[in-house]
Structure 1
Amino acid sequence: MSLSRTTEKRHRRRPAGEVVSTPIRWVWLAAWPVTATFVLSNAATPLYALWQRDIGFSKGTLTVIFAFYIIGLLGSLLVSGVVSDRLGRKPVLLPALALALAACAIFATASTVTALILARLFTGIAVGAVVSAGMAAVSDVAGPQRARLAALLASCAMVFGAGFGPFLAGVVSEALPAPTTTVFVVEAALLVTAVAVVWRMPVHHAAPTAGSAGGAWIRLPGVPQGDGMRLLLGIAVFAPGITATSFVLSLGPSLLSDLLGTTSRVVAGAMAFVMFAAATGVQFAVQRLRRHTILRAGAVSTTLALIALVAAVYTRSVPLLVTSAVLAGAGQGMGQLGGLSLLNAAVPARRLAEANAALNVGGYVLAGILPVSAGYLSDALGLTTGTTVFAVILAALAIAGGLTVLTGHRRAPEPA
């Protein structure tokens, strides 16, 4: 029997309520599979211009390819959180990483829109499993005494990977031959190291208690009774934030081409990297603030990002476009950290993966609908009009989210 399996079984035999002290290095390492998978989630962003040139498809088709990632992710979230809470983190994470490796192989050889759609679908399924089981695994390894650290590392692992992916792809694709192949060979190597981490991870999954294992295996994820308002507050800010960053990822290269007249993959990747670097940095900066304060700040940042986006397209200003991306990243980062922190502090471990899945379902539904609509509207009426309509609608939702937090925090007080 391997050391990892022995360690995991010992943890599972511990009496309920006993605090398990895991070396701090494992709390950080547990976040690596989340990072590696999210590198894949956006690694294709700078390469779409190459595929558009070689295969030939419109901005609307590009957002549909992106939307299949959302479809796969949402479908995965319907089952992965429940399965992870019932069977453990590793039985979900290892197949997810295998599917991510399959997506790398398809991306590396893609020559049709169908292949790109399939690769994005597989990526979405893998990311959905990692969002629920992987982020819960970080909390399991950290233990209840490190709940805030676990939420911070899990959230930062997600956004850092999401930003590092397009930057890495941009640099590798410009510097090395066969760009659409080489990028995914490098990403496959990162995923192999993530598999090794998961295999040896000393995760101490909480055993189900009476009544916790009931219900369908495939269902809309939710939270325990009494935690619904905390989930709503997280979604109210996280959903507009991640929708804003999704727009930058899907149509950002087109905006850069329109404003700069450039199709540089390094520039497109760098803008995405800066956006998610802001999402990572802001979480470390605000981690000690009250959770509701973090959420309100996230709503404000997303609203300002959308104002800057409209100003950028009308003035053809690249600095304003980058400013918009940075503010969008900060908005997503704070919305995500605030939502995860509220859930980590209140939801028991046996339901945590499902709660994480519920937060992300709420965010990604909006992130799948609005950017696709903006893509097709841009094809019909022009990129400026499509971007403006998108920004106005999403800004209204971000403001509504901030008002929801402002008025709803009394019904969902800060957990201890």
Structure 2
Amino acid sequence: MEAARPPSWWIWLAAWPVTAVFVLSNAATPLYQLWQREIGFSKGTSTVVFAFYIVGLLGSLLVSGLTSDRLGRKPVLLPALALGVAACLIFATATTVPALIVARLFSGVAVGAVVSGGMAAVTDLAGPGRERTAALIASCAMVFGAGLGPLLAGVLSETASAPTVTVFVVETVLLTTAFITVLRMPLPGRPAAGPGPWVRLPSVPHGARMQLALGIAVFAPGITATSFVLSLGPSLLTGLLGTSSRITAGAMAFAMFLSATVVQLSVRRLGRRTILVTGAVSTVIAMLTLVAAVRAASVPVLIAAALLAGAGQGSGQLGGLSLLNSTVPPHRLAEANAALNVGGYVPAGILPVSVGYLSDAAGLTTATTVFATVLTAFAVMGGLLVLATRHRAPGHG
């Protein structure tokens, strides 16, 4: 006898842990300049701190997707949320670069678990026939949380008497509510552990490999563009505006991810490959605009580049998730989500760090131009791959 489907509102509530963890993922963005002043480190070091988040996330993705599919969503999500709370504690009391690195590492591990198991949980609760709706809700929850984090941190750090402590106390409360939500989720049971290693590079069934490749081809350049804005955006604002306002830095990051959310809602009824092409084009235009912004020293143009970068990530993410949701069976979905994010976050970790050190040596304008040129090439290749397979690959709806 088929189990009763959970109430539809559970689809939305299941997305809350995704939002709460992604608030943590970017809450540190406006605070880097505060820590730079208090602790003392370069732009290159700040991108290394940022990159340890990627290291933790990628390490987590090697384990969490497969574990979530084998043991269930809760055994992965609950420890991840607890680790997020530990990261908040370290952030709130950090006085050294190693402490920031550990906190970012913990944050990455938590996000890696939630981006695979948490987003799959939304699809589990949606059930058959509502895969596209689940992909949209999970993807919007991710980018909304990613944008809310820096805005919340920027405002609180400028207005509260104990900036970093206040920011991460608030985030601890959000994670606690997410923990309670996961405990109450009416998730279906999972199959027993299958054969094979527990730690491996995430993969998808043979029939879904093209869908994964197409998703990565567009999602990777998009999330690399937004990672650049998160890691070096405050430095660009300081150079262009002559201000170290954390509210301004947080607001720009929020606007970028709000753009990602709005774009996803706008294109949700389009074909999946049309969504991916939209993402590739947005990322290309974002990079051209970014070069124009730094060369003209224009803050409005920089904000436009951030909005376009958000649109590129949002479309690439939604298109990739939708393709996987339509072709990957539920018992492999968390691993498939992990595979998509591994493909996206590897360049998102490497390129911004390289640019951070290049900017210390050659200047931020030159480094940004090199970054934009490289990423434009990747985005163009991704868009061409989607167009080349548009009429012959499965899952084109």
TM value normalised by structure 1? 0.94
Query: Can you list the C-alpha shifts for 1:16-47, whole angstroms capped at 9, x where unaligned?
Result: xx364221111100000000000000000001
Alignment partner, residue 162 of structure 1: 146
Correspondence for 2:186 among 202, 205, 210: 202
Among 312, 321, 324, the alignment partner of 1:340 is 321
Q: Which runs of 5+ in 2 are unaligned?
A: none
Aligned match of 2:267: 286
For residue 122 of structure 2, the aligned residue among 127, 138, 145 is 138
Count residues with an aligned counterpart: 397
Instruction: Please name the residue that 1:298 is paired with.
Output: 279
Post-superposition CA distance 1:91-147 (Å, at most 9, x none): 000000000000000000000000000000000000000000000000001111211
Aligned to 1:239: 220
Q: Give the Cα–Cα distance (whole angstroms) in 2 for the partners of residues 206 and 199 of structure 1.
A: 16
Question: How far apart are 1:413 and its partner, in Å?
Answer: 2.0
Please tell me whether the aligned partners of residues 19 and 143 of structure 1 are also in contact (alpha carbons under 8 angstroms): no
Which AA in structure 1 matches 2:155? V
The yes-or-no answer on 1:387 pairing with 2:368 is: yes
After TM superposition, give the deviation of residue 206 of structure 1 in Å.
4.3
**1:216 maps to which residue?**
197
Determine the C-alpha separation between the residues in 1 that align with 2:112 and 2:257: 19
Residue in structure 2 matching 1:93, options 73, 77, 84: 77
Residues 137 and 415 from structure 1, CA distance in 2 versus in 1: closer, same or farther, beyond 3 angstroms?
farther
Contact 1:346 1:415 in 2 (8 A): no
Aligned counterpart, 1:176:
160
Question: 2:313 aligned with 1:329, yes or no?
Answer: no
Aligned to 1:80: 64
State whether residues 71 and 190 of structure 2, in contact with CA within 8 Å, keep that contact through their aligned partners in structure 1.
no
Of 21, 33, 42, which residue of structure 2 is paired with 1:58?
42
Tell me the percent identity: 71
Hey, what does 1:70 align to over in structure 2?
54
Shift in Å, 1:225: 1.1
Look up the equivalent residue of 2:360 and give its one-letter code.
D
- Secondary structure at the aligned position of 1:145 is classed as coil
Within 2, Cα distance between the matches of 1:149 and 1:165?
24
Structure-2 separation of matches of 1:214 and 1:349:
17
Q: Secondary structure at the match of 1:227?
A: helix
Measure the CA separation in 1 of the matches of 2:300 and 2:311: 17
Cα shift at 1:411: 4.1
Identify if the C-alpha distance between structure 1 residues 20 and 340 changes in structure 2 by more than 3 Å, giving closer, same or farther: farther
Distance 1:297 1:205, change over 3 A: farther
Shift of 1:401: 0.3
Structure 1 runs, 4 residues or longer, greater than 3 Å off: none
The correspondence of residues 38-57 of structure 1 with structure 2, limited to 5 A, is: 38-57=22-41
| Cα distance between partner residues in 1 of 2:286 and 2:279 | 11
Amino acid in the other structure paired with 1:273: F
Letter in 2 for 1:176: A
Quote the Cα distance in structure 1 between the aligned partners of 2:267 and 2:301. Answer: 24
Residue 69 of structure 2 aligns with an amino acid whose one-letter code is D
- What corresponds to 2:333 in structure 1? 352
CA distance in 2, matches of 1:161, 1:80: 20
Per the alignment, residue 25 of structure 1 pairs with 9
Q: Is the 8 A contact 2:272 2:396 kept in 1?
A: no
Deviation string, structure 1 residues 208-230 (Cα, Å, up to 9, x no partner): 5xxx8221100000000111000
Tell me the distance in 2 between the aligned counterparts of 1:110 and 1:206: 39
In terms of mean alpha carbon deviation, does 196-205 or 37-46 score higher? 196-205
Residue 205 of structure 1, CA deviation: 4.0
Match of 2:251 in 1: 270
RMSD, aligned α-carbons: 1.1
Match of 1:104 in 2: 88
